[in-house]
Amino acid sequence: MAEPTRHWLFKSEPSTWPWEKQKAAGPAGQEWDGVRNYQARNFMREMKIGERGFFYHSNEGKAVVGIVEVAALAHPDSTAKDGAWECVDLRAVMDLPRPVTLETIKADEALKDMVLVTNSRLSVQPVGAAEFDHICRLGGLDPKDALA
């Protein structure tokens, strides 16, 4: 039996790496480098090519703004000074028609157990299938379109 596809959330500070830059990286995508948290690194090690996730603007804006796809499996992070850190490559897939703010997510009973709410500091985190679908709908996107 095939493993279910997992979904993810990737946080980025818009002043450092905004959604527009992620989109400009093109179909090859961009190394999701600079993550220095063991739990987040371990999540990236679990990722498979083609898995989808949310691109989240942290600090400024605090909102899910787009859909990304894992374009390369975990590999050594080119910005790391030692071999302890790995990253995946991500490519932009599509904009969310309406950004879904952290305030909206926190206020939604269906999302109260989401890692973004319960462990908001984690920069790379899993998203449950029902959470993924719900946030897509809140953002004006059919979840099937987000996965097509």
**CA nearest to 110, candidates 83, 90, 137:** 137
Domains of the chain by start residue, with CATH: 7-147 (3.10.590.10)
pLDDT on residue 146:
94
Q: Is 2 a residue whose pLDDT tops 90?
A: no
- First-to-last C-alpha distance (Å) of the chain: 21
The 10s digit of each residue's pLDDT in 69-86 is 999 999 999 999 888 899
The 10s digit of each residue's pLDDT in 119-132 is 988 999 999 999 99
